[in-house]
Copies of this chain bind each other. A is one copy, B any other.
């Protein structure tokens, strides 16, 4: 299945689940849609914080197309599930945002960890959260994003445990994917980045870290969602976690040499 075929399937109403493993080899994207009034600030936020917010594409105000990442995209219907943000807080999840679309909405597609995870698995590394059938563990850290307008707040990271030599390979492989959060921001001592207890993630599921494993931390696409909350916008739309925009871009297209 190509990215385009995946989107057609989703648009037809045939699929509303998580996109993990869908259209393997095609880049999936985090989605943030904000009113034009905040679009410049948010765009600058992304460019100031490229590790959590690697910018794949930005739409025109009011235009549901996003040609930078895929042909024929209608962003109102092509994501399996959305979260609507109202009056400073996340509200309902819906499968279609056509009814609430507005002429002033600007769409942002941001790279997602699935691209480097795909490369890690291709290489032969084991993703512990996948093996345990859990979501990846995510944490708010003491690392601050660089603010822009109302957007700012903590860097959110995802954590994957690896044994030593595998941790080295995970650094090398993810370094090749700067548009999918790139190299880890940290490894080892969680306290050093303000994480008090690995067993209590702020998002996702806890994944145990054994004595012979090192926790490896990557910047995470939940960071912009935390920034939205901090900004307290009256209206915005994001994807529901795990329910991503599948693009026409191939993972290898965004890989460094």
> Could you list which residues of chain A lie within 8 angstroms of chain B, going by C-beta atoms?
163-165, 167-168, 171-172, 175, 183-189, 191-193, 211-214, 217, 257
Contacts of A188 in B (CB 8 A): 163-164, 167, 188, 212-214
Query: Is A164's CB under 8 angstroms from B189's CB?
Result: yes
Measured CB to CB, the closest approach of chain B to A213, in angstroms, equals 7
Contacts of A167 in B (CB 8 A): 187-188
The residue in chain B whose Cβ has the minimal distance to the Cβ of A163 is B192
Contacts of A193 in B (CB 8 A): 164
Query: What are some 12 contacts across the A-B interface (CB < 8 A)?
Result: A163-B189, A164-B186, A164-B187, A164-B189, A164-B193, A165-B185, A168-B184, A175-B175, A188-B188, A189-B211, A189-B212, A191-B212
Q: How far is the CA of A211 from the CA of B175 in the complex (A)?
A: 26
Query: Is A168's CB under 8 angstroms from B191's CB?
Result: no
Query: Is A183's CB under 8 angstroms from B168's CB?
Result: yes
Contacts of A211 in B (CB 8 A): 189, 191
Copy total for this chain: 2
Query: Is A168's CB under 8 angstroms from B192's CB?
Result: no
Q: How far is the CA of A183 from the CA of B214 in the complex (A)?
A: 17
Contacts of A175 in B (CB 8 A): 172, 175
Identify the interface centre among A163, A212, A214: most chain B CB within 10 Å of its CB.
A214
Query: Is B189's CB under 8 angstroms from A165's CB?
Result: no
Beyond A164-B187, A188-B212, 11 additional pairs, beta carbon < 8 A: A164-B184, A164-B189, A164-B193, A164-B217, A168-B183, A168-B186, A172-B175, A187-B214, A188-B214, A189-B212, A257-B257
Q: How far is the CA of A217 from the CA of B167 in the complex (A)?
A: 12
Query: Is B187's CB under 8 angstroms from A168's CB?
Result: yes
The residue in chain B whose Cβ has the minimal distance to the Cβ of A214 is B188
Q: How far is the CA of A167 from the CA of B183 in the complex (A)?
A: 11
Query: Is B192's CB under 8 angstroms from A164's CB?
Result: yes
Contacts of A172 in B (CB 8 A): 171-172, 175, 183
Q: How far is the CA of A212 from the CA of B184 in the complex (A)?
A: 16
The residue in chain B whose Cβ has the minimal distance to the Cβ of A170 is B171
